[in-house]
Structure 1
Amino acid sequence: MRKIYDYYTLSEDISQNREEAAKINISYITNWEKLHDSLIGTKKPEELTVCYLSGPEPSNDFKELTNLGILPQNIWAFESDTQAYKQALADFEQGEYPQPRILKQNIETFFQQTPKKFDIVYIDACGSVPSVQHSLRCVFTLCWNHRLNSPGVIITNFAMPDITKNTINDYYGLVSQYLFFKEYPSEDFKINECGIINEKYNQFLITVRKNFSYYYGEYISAVLRDIPAVIVPLERIARNPYLNQILLNLSTIDSKNDEQYIDLSKGNSLARYFFTVNYLLEKRILGEKSQCFLKEIGEFNDLIKGLKIIILLRNGKIELKDDVEKIKDFFETKGNVYQFFLKSQSNF
């Protein structure tokens, strides 16, 4: 925060950014820094807690972590397969640390049932995204149950789909659809029994086929950003028991069909994508891998409900109750609460 302030205020260039930065009272930044330090702070390697998927040979990762200064007692490994678990224990027999913490348990179940947080979570998955190994669902479960400290780091590694199998066409469709709406969130298109009909989409699909390894990586990166930033919060909105106390005419969300929501969500890439695949799903023309993906990211119906609420709010089709509107107006009125960052239209 202070570096940005210094950058603009000390700059010799006359610009609107410099004029805006000059209006900031330095005491606001000082107080913000104190609050930040009280919540975040710093940690030494020996204060970090790490978890990872064990596999039959966990000692390699274990040694790398301990060499970096992380205490053996703060390293948690998970393995649900009985045979792999036995091999993992045997892998430590000749090691210097005789009692590694290897839990014979599904890591998702642990995230759901145990109130333990980690600073670093390393998911080295053998499955692709999405797949029956539910590699992606593990990340969703971690975020949904708040098992990552703030700040914290998730490190992931997923397998590449076998491009020689028939299922690769489903992966082409999945990746193309997800990234197409990222690139063209306002593009008009049609849907028939063959799926999305649009010239730009057809060209994009061809590009993905030709360079699938690159776009598959881009897809995974986008999904991993979207899960904690958008998908999990939207599902929480849908499950919020106070919605009826916040919003007027909430029943409006069921008065429109998927095609109408696709049109209303122009400019919002994730909303447009999920409304589209929901429509394809209802028409029974959604690819198998896309259906598998929807099962990896929590309750899809809640996600759709959350998206509908947000889109209707942004389009003025649903309103806040009077007392909530007053609170909103207070925060948006200049001078009441200082806003450090300029508001911008989010494209998800």
Structure 2
Amino acid sequence: MSLSVTLRHRLGTLDLDVAFEAPGGVTALFGRSGAGKTSVVNAVAGLLQPDSGSIVLNGKSLLSQGGTSVPKHRRRIGYVFQDARLFPHLSVRGNLLYGARNDHGLQRVTDLLGIGDLLRRRPRALSGGEAQRVAIGRALLSEPELLIMDEPLAALDAARKAEILPYLERLRDEAGLPILFVSHSVEEVARLATTLVLMDRGRVVRTGPAADLLADPTLAPIFGPRMAGAVLPGRIAAQHDDGLTEIAVSGGRLFLPATAGAPGDPLRVRIAAQDVMLALDRPENVSALNILSATVTEVQPGQGPGVMVQLRAGDDLLLARITRRSADALGLRPGTPCFAVLKSVAVAQGAVGRG
């Protein structure tokens, strides 16, 4: 499963000129409002006819350089918008099956999204998170070859986002189709994305594996210094009686607030750069439980008094945001051995997702 996109289009004062490859999994288009993200996915879906370009999905041309365009109703693309856009006169079951060839996949989709007990309800009786899950289910039951999700969590409050994110992780891991996910939320991208396409003012800045780009200190200005952070893959090692979950990562063990799961379950943990402290000697008699042996791989100056330090801990990359004064005092440079220190309570539950 793959998607290849090359587009050029004039949008008012914005010149859209993008090219990227999206393999299987979740490819997130990330950037500030006005970067052109929605225009890109609209062109892929056939809702926007670009001035020129090509779109190839699973080896089939949807748009050729010569201008031949497959009509949107023949592209086999499911689209989930910011708002659920459910039909108010239909039940949840009726909404789910609208556009479906039959109901053969209904049970699997309702189990996947946890909406089996909602089938008789009307949309007005649903919460925002439930309505979005129904909208996703409707898109899946149309048997698409690609699922587009344009800011699907933007209209939800924090509680509803926390409710729906685990279902999106299941969708990524179990649905078996590529997903093009538009977002300007670093937290959502860190939880869901396998591939990242960074956009700014109609251009692709960088594209690549999400874990690599999130841990790149040169990209911190795009994510925002306060939001920059790396994602570490790991597995649950143990659940402790004092409310902590022990997670094995390549560089050691992390103790985090209780996270649902059994020993062996894979997880991905986002650690914000601003929550990481550095020391040249292993700290003793400190309250922080998480201390990882690391090596500095890059020191990137930022605007103002801060620097972004990239570290390698085991096989994984970390980021630490510290002052330039501290970096100079510690003599940090590529190759410097050090210890990364992280408070357990610094990692919120929303920063820990399914691996």
Identify the structure with the greater strand proportion: 2
**Greater RCO (Cα-Cα under 8 Å, separation 6 or more):** 2
TM-score of the alignment, normalized to the shorter chain, above 0.5? no
Q: TM-score, normalised to structure 1's length? A: 0.30
Identify the structure with the greater helix proportion: 1
Q: Bigger radius of gyration, 1 or 2? A: 1
